[in-house]
Amino acid sequence: MALGGQIHIVLFLVGVCSIFLDDISAAEVVLRRFDGSVYFDRNWGEYKQGFGFLSTEFWLGNDKLSYLTNQAVYELRIEVTFENGTSCDLQYNAFRISDEWSGYTMSSVGTYKSDAACRWKEESECDNPEECNPMEVSTNYTDCNDVYDAGETQDGVYYISPEGWDGPPFKVFCNMSIDEGSWTVFQRRVDGSTNFYRNWTEYRNGFGDVQHEFWLGNEKLHYITEQATYEYRIDYVYSSSSYHNKYTNFHVDDETNNYRLANPGTRTGTRGYSLHNINNTPFSTHDEDNDGRSYDCAEGHRSGWWHGAYFYTYSYSYCYYFQSGSTYVYCSYANPNGDYNGGNGENIYDYYYYYYDCDQIYTELKIRRTS
């Protein structure tokens, strides 16, 4: 899948034998794009010789690239910035271009290392010698399973592009250290610094910082879970103790079907029943009430969630009930997106048999491909 919407592209060549990759001042810049001031729809001869202005936008030239990369081992670094502010930073440790007789084939790229999901393939050739554009980038990671399988085994932020996703690659946090790794994290609560009482659009697109508190976005969750079968895990901290629960199936439908969450399958874990009773349950927010109940559960629980799978009213107040007039109501076995340190029914809680763990201080929700 080709990347689109680039607004800033820089390619650097760095001699491996004598220069560190981060020493950009010593690198040979071979391409720069940032404002469209230079026309790049050129013919073979122009790409061979090079064009543009070294101080602004330019292509160094395929002949020069061929001579440069065949005199020693060179690293290639590519910096790409997209219109929405996200960026890719790619590195290859053995980049080489063949001569004109061989069509300036990209004969070697070496080992790939990056926090992004963009890749070039070895033996890539110019498809049309008359209008050759050598900047063809493809995306590879579709989830954190792919990241882990590529040898990236450290917790951190990576870029993925699920199958069918037509936007630029987006950031995810991959938890590689817990339960054998490969987990794509889609929610985290740490300190209450991010407001989770959001509207439908915000829950659809996602919000927050993937390295801190955030919701990845229902649209992204749909595309990820549409690819294969995924399991789900929530880790949470309550009363200074850590717990988790897992379910064997996690699939989010599309927006037309209100991001319905399928039957989560079998539960395991140490404590909690966060997806209990959910079965093709639609997502709800305070401005999009899809719970099918007589009360607005998302409004009462102050969170976007698959509310309404369970519903109960009572005449007394407990930590997981919100008040509506003289009645106390709860709509979900869990409320991980509730107010941090919120009041009764508005807080973060998870059900555990006949008890509820309320006022949780940490949650992390994540999914992992199983087939």
The per-residue pLDDT string of the chain (371 residues; one tens digit each, 9 = 90 and over) reads 333 444 455 666 655 433 223 333 445 788 888 888 898 999 999 999 999 998 888 899 999 989 888 887 788 888 777 665 666 677 777 788 888 888 888 877 766 666 554 444 444 454 454 443 333 344 468 999 999 998 889 999 888 999 999 888 889 999 999 999 999 999 999 999 999 999 999 999 999 999 999 999 999 999 999 999 999 999 999 888 899 999 999 999 999 999 999 999 999 999 999 999 899 999 999 999 998 888 899 999 999 999 986 666 776 667 877 888 888 888 888 999 999 998 887 889 998 877 788 879 999 999 999 98
What number does CATH give the domain 6-138?
A: 3.90.215.10
- Domain boundaries, given as residue ranges, for the chain: 6-138, 144-369
pLDDT at residue 17, as a whole number: 34
Indicate if the alpha-carbon torsion angle 104, 105, 108, 111 is positive or negative.
positive
Rounded Cα distance, 184 and 39, in Å:
40
Type of residue at 369: R
- What's the topology of domain 144-369? Gamma Fibrinogen; Chain A, domain 1 (3.90.215)
Rounded Cα distance, 286 and 17, in Å:
59
Q: How far is CA 304 from the centre of its chain?
A: 19
Helix (H, G, I), strand (E, B) or coil at 184: strand
Structural tokens at position 139: 């995306």
Rounded Cα distance, 335 and 356, in Å:
11
Structural tokens at position 189: 């609560």
pLDDT at residue 7, as a whole number: 46
Would the CATH topology of 6-138 be identical to that of 144-369?
Answer: yes
> What's the distance, Cα to Cα, between the start and end of the chain in Å?
22
pLDDT at residue 323, as a whole number: 83
pLDDT at residue 113, as a whole number: 64
pTM of the model: 0.66
Q: What is the four-CA torsion angle of 23, 209, 350, 271, rounded to 10 degrees?
A: 0
The runs of H, that is alpha helices, within 132-189 are: 144-149
